[in-house]
Amino acid sequence: MEAITKDSLKMLPIFLFILAHVSASPVYKTIGFDNIVTDNHISFDIKRIFVAAQHNNQSIYLSFRSDHPIRYQFAKCNQILMSTGKEISSHEVTFYDEWISWMYNVSIRTCSTGNEDTYQLELRLYPTVPTSGLFVFSTIKKIETQEKFNGFPVYTVVNEASQTSVYYSSVAHSFSEVSATEGKTVHLISDLSTPATVTFGKCDYEIPKHFDLQTSGDIVMEQEDLSNINSLANICCSDNNRTNVFQMFLTSAENSTGAFILSIVGEEDNFDEHLIKVSLVAAFTVGFIFLVICFWKCMSWIGCCDNKDNKKSEIHEMKSMRPRCESCGEDIEVHLLS
C-alpha cells in the first residue's frame, strides 16, 4: 500500500465513510499523491479487489478527492483504457459486473515490453498546479435496484459549431448478444448536414476512441469498441446511477443538423430500413427548423407592421389634440373638427 501523506489525511473522513458502507469484510486499496507538479504515472495492482468482487458477487467502489482539479487516466501497456474528459477534484463511482470482468482481463495482459508486472495497471495524473489527493478502491455490496432500459432510438441532431451535444443510450446490454450471435453487428448510422464526431463516456470518464460521422455514413463497431462501451455502461455515479446507460458526446466544426442511430443489424435484417428511418428523422428535423425560421421571420414582419400602424395612429392623435382655452374662467376643452 502506498504511503498516505499528511495532506492526504484530510481524506480520512471520506475513507471512514466508505468503510461504513462496504460489506463486513471489505477489500480496499489506497493510492495517494502529494504535491505533484508535473505529469505523473503510478503503477498499482488491485487484483485482490477484482477477485473478491467476482467471488462474493460484489461491486467495486472508487472515491477520489484532490485539493485542485486534475485530469487522470487508467492505462495498461501504454494503451489508455479510460480517461476523465475534463479536470475534476472529486467523484464517487461504482463499477459493476461487466466493467469488473473487462478491467480484470485487461490487467492480466502481458505487455510486449516485458517490463510491467502482471496485474499492474497504470494511473496517469495530469496536474496544472501543485496537487495532492487520494484514490480509494473498495469492494462494496452490490445494489440490485438498478434500472435497465431497452430500445434503439434515433437521435436528432441540432448542434452549433464547436459546441457539444449530449445523448443518452440504454442499449449496452444488447452488445453481449452481438458478441455471442454470429452474423450480428452494431452499426453507427448517420445522416447529417455536415460531418460530426462522437465519443462515448459516463461519470466523467470517456473512452479514448473517436468516431467520425459522415453526412451519410455507416460505421460498423468493432468488438473491442463494444466491450469498452459495455464496461463503461456498468459504472454508476450520482449524476448517472443506472446500469446499461451510457452517454454519447457529439461535436461538429460547423453547424450540423440531421440524425444518427446506434443499432444492431443481423444478416436477416433489411439494412435499408435503418437508413430510411434515420433519413426520415433527419429530413423531419431540417424541415422543422425551416418552419421555425419561417415562423420567426413571419412574426417579425407582423410585429414590424404593427409598430408602423401604431406610429401612424400616434401621429394622427397628436395632430388632433389642441390646447385648452387658458383665457377662459373655466377649463373648457375645445374640440376642433379637422
* Owning domain of residue 169: 154-289
Residue 313 within any structural domain of the chain: no
Q: What is the pLDDT of residue 141?
A: 82
Name the domain boundary from 140, 164, 199.
140
- Residue 238: phi and psi, rounded to 5, are -65, -30
Could you give the angle at which helices 97-107 and 47-55 cross, rounded to 10 degrees? 140
Residue 266 within any structural domain of the chain: yes
For residues 241 and 269, state if they share a domain: yes
Q: What is the pLDDT of residue 238?
A: 83
Residue 60 within any structural domain of the chain: yes
Going from the C-alpha of 52 to that of each of 17, 18, 44, the distances in angstroms are 20, 17, 17
Instruction: Please state, as a whole number, how many other Cβ atoms lie within 10 Å of the Cβ of residue 198.
Output: 21
Is 99 in contact with 244 (CB distance < 8 Å)? no
For residues 161 and 110, state if they share a domain: no
Q: CATH number, domain at 256? A: 2.60.120
For residues 206 and 249, state if they share a domain: yes
- Rounded CA-CA distance 75/89 in Å is 20
Residue 145 within any structural domain of the chain: no
- Rounded CA-CA distance 79/74 in Å is 9
For residues 130 and 158, state if they share a domain: no
Name the domain boundary from 84, 105, 140.
140
Question: Which grid coordinates are listed for 75?
Answer: 492505462
For residues 39 and 62, state if they share a domain: yes
Tell which phi-psi region holds residue 123, choosing left (phi > 0), alpha (psi between -120 and 50) or beta: beta
Residue 197, beta-bridge partner list: 212, 251
For residues 107 and 158, state if they share a domain: no
For residues 119 and 198, state if they share a domain: no
Residue 58 within any structural domain of the chain: yes
- Rounded CA-CA distance 142/134 in Å is 23
For residues 40 and 159, state if they share a domain: no
Helix spans in the chain (H):
12-21, 47-55, 97-107, 173-180, 223-233, 271-320
- Rounded CA-CA distance 57/199 in Å is 31
For residues 86 and 136, state if they share a domain: yes
- Rounded CA-CA distance 160/214 in Å is 16
For residues 90 and 161, state if they share a domain: no
Question: Which grid coordinates are listed for 294?
Answer: 419561417
Residue 166 within any structural domain of the chain: yes
- Rounded CA-CA distance 102/87 in Å is 25
Residue 332 within any structural domain of the chain: no
Instruction: pLDDT tens for the chain, 338 residues: list them.
Output: 444 455 555 555 555 555 544 444 678 899 999 999 999 999 999 989 999 999 988 889 999 999 999 999 999 988 899 999 889 999 889 898 889 999 998 888 888 765 556 678 999 999 999 999 999 999 888 765 444 444 567 888 888 898 999 998 887 777 777 766 667 888 888 888 999 999 999 999 998 899 999 888 889 988 888 888 888 888 998 888 888 889 999 999 999 988 888 877 765 554 444 454 445 454 555 555 555 565 556 566 555 555 555 544 444 444 444 444 444 444 434 343 43
Name the domain boundary from 271, 289, 307.
289
Q: Which of 102, 32, 20, 89 is nearest to 61 (CA)?
A: 20
For residues 133 and 172, state if they share a domain: no
Number of domains in the chain: 2
Residue 327 within any structural domain of the chain: no
pTM of structure: 0.63
Residue with cell 437521435: 155
Q: Report which residue type is found at 228.
A: N
For residues 173 and 88, state if they share a domain: no
